[in-house]
Amino acid sequence: MIAVILAVLSVGVPFTLLGDIARFWASYLYWTLLTVITIVIGFLHLKGWGDKR
- pLDDT score for 39: 93
- Tell me the per-residue pLDDT of 25-45, one tens digit each, with 9 for 90 and over: 777 888 899 899 999 999 998
Q: What is the pLDDT of residue 1?
A: 82
Q: Tell me, what's the pLDDT at 21?
A: 74
pLDDT at 14 over 80: no
In whole angstroms, how large is the CA radius of gyration of the chain?
A: 15
Q: DSSP letters of 1-53?
A: -HHHHHHHHHHHHHHHTSTT---THHHHHHHHHHHHHHHHHHHHHHTTTTT--
Q: What is the pLDDT of residue 13?
A: 82
CA angle 8, 11, 14 (to 5 degrees): 125
Q: CB atoms < 10 A from the CB of 42, how many?
A: 12
Q: Rounded to two decimals, what is the model's pTM?
A: 0.66
Lowest mean pLDDT among 6-10, 12-16, 49-53: 49-53
